[in-house]
Amino acid sequence: MGEKEKIGEVFTYFSKIGVAGIRLTEGGLRLGDTISIEGHTTNFTQTVDSMQMDHGPVEEASAGDEVGIKVVDKVRKNDVVYKVL
């Protein structure tokens, strides 16, 4: 994996639908970006292929936004989200 930059953190996880609520604190995110989610027991990389904001699909989001992203594995509150550069 190449360089990465912190863009936000997980604030909630919807286990039934496999969606992470992510608060973007330092950077933007677009569909197609590769992210890495890391925490005490979390560590995986995936491509962002579905993102929602205010219950509607969006293609990009920026710092200050809260988005829901379908994730491939379980995440936990306060896990850190990085964008792989």
Residue 1 — very low, low, confident or very high, per pLDDT cuts 50/70/90? Answer: low
Residue 2's pLDDT band (cuts 50, 70, 90): confident
Question: Which helix (H) or strand (E) is 7 found in, with range?
Answer: strand 4-14
What is the pTM assigned to this prediction? Answer: 0.95
Helix%, strand%, coil% for the chain, nearest 5 = 0, 55, 45
DSSP string, 65-84: -EEEEE-SS---TT-EEEEE
Q: In whole angstroms, what is the distance from residue 48 CA to residue 84 CA? A: 11
For residue 29, give its domain range. Answer: 4-84
User: In the chain, how many domains are there?
Assistant: 1
Q: What is the pLDDT of residues 26-85, one digit of tens each?
A: 999 999 999 999 999 999 999 999 999 999 999 999 999 999 999 999 999 999 999 999
Q: Two tokens at 33?
A: 């970006």
CATH of the domain at 30: 2.40.30.10
